[in-house]
Chains A and B, each alone.
Chain A
């Protein structure tokens, strides 16, 4: 039975209910073809104005929230290897360990790969559109895991700021273990992933039998 546990599910339920009512009013008009009196105009204003507006508002919010989730990122076939590793309970890669975090694990891809400046949410969404364009133009006819397509890579170097959201670069224990490179990491000269680089072990480029077009 359909149950609602989250805000996203509630918004989706409201959007679907309003869409259904709007279609119902539309079908009523098409079948009955009533005169355009006050009652008909009011019903049509609900069915063509109010309900679609609610569908748009709630549906957009719910959909934007869903686009942050790992299953959404993994719904393109080229992301299959990344998704399989992230969801593997036995994997010890960075992606898998962070995906098991109960706070943000379901949004692990977005949490690490989003831009975090002032308009970061907008630029991240723009990058998402870029992903979709490249997927349709370059990866649509590639193999089950993206074999035969160009190597998948970040558009810009990964920034340690994403790690430092949670992992402090000033805590005593961190400073003790990173004594030699603390300043370099804080200044951006060095990246966390320069050393902590077991992130996506199943990526095509990392497999021993990488296919044509794999990244170096």
Chain B
């Protein structure tokens, strides 16, 4: 799911960049207005989609157990004979 979202985001950004670059190279009024409105809208949407994909990806991988980083188990002290604090 996250990969598909990233793919759509990339495609949207490429389309937006082509739109905006063409309005810079060939600044006709109509093209300028479309690039500044639709082009930038597509780019913003693509960025939001990508950030959402990253968030989903982080969420889905958040519970993964990573070996070697486990804290050592706290060993319980041996029960003292007749003295010491009672164990709870």
Instruction: Let me know if B13 and A22 touch, CB within 8 A.
Output: yes
The listed residue (B24, B30, B57) touching A62 by CB distance below 8 A is B24
CB contacts under 8 Å to B, within A38-85, are 41, 44-45, 47-49, 52, 55-56, 59-60, 62-63, 66-67, 72, 75-76
Say yes or no: is A204 at the interface (Cβ < 8 Å to chain B).
Answer: no
* Interface SS majority for chain A: helix
Instruction: Let me know if A48 and B18 touch, CB within 8 A.
Output: no
Instruction: Let me know if A23 and B14 touch, CB within 8 A.
Output: yes
Contact A52 B43, CB 8 Å, known A12-B24, A15-B24, A26-B14: yes
Instruction: Let me know if B17 and A19 touch, CB within 8 A.
Output: yes
* Interface SS majority for chain B: helix
Bound form: Cα–Cα A70–B11 in Å: 36
- Total cross-chain contacts (CB, 8 A): 96
Say yes or no: is A214 at the interface (Cβ < 8 Å to chain B).
Answer: no
Size class of the contact patch on chain B: 20 to 34
Size class of the contact patch on chain A: 35 or more
Bound form: Cα–Cα A76–B17 in Å: 25
Minimum distance in angstroms from A19 CB to a CB of chain B: 4
Minimum distance in angstroms from A44 CB to a CB of chain B: 6
Instruction: Let me know if B11 and A63 touch, CB within 8 A.
Output: no
Instruction: Let me know if A48 and B28 touch, CB within 8 A.
Output: no
Instruction: Let me know if A48 and B47 touch, CB within 8 A.
Output: yes
Q: A23-B14, A26-B13, A63-B27 are known; give 18 further A-B pairs, CB within 8 A.
A: A22-B14, A23-B18, A26-B10, A29-B6, A30-B10, A36-B3, A44-B9, A47-B13, A48-B47, A49-B50, A52-B16, A55-B17, A55-B43, A59-B35, A67-B29, A72-B29, A75-B29, A136-B30
- CB<8 Å pairs between A and B, sample of 12: A26-B14, A30-B7, A30-B11, A45-B50, A49-B47, A52-B47, A55-B20, A56-B40, A75-B27, A76-B29, A132-B33, A135-B29
Q: A-B pairs with the 8 shortest C-beta distances?
A: A19-B17, A19-B21, A26-B10, A26-B14, A52-B43, A48-B50, A48-B13, A22-B17
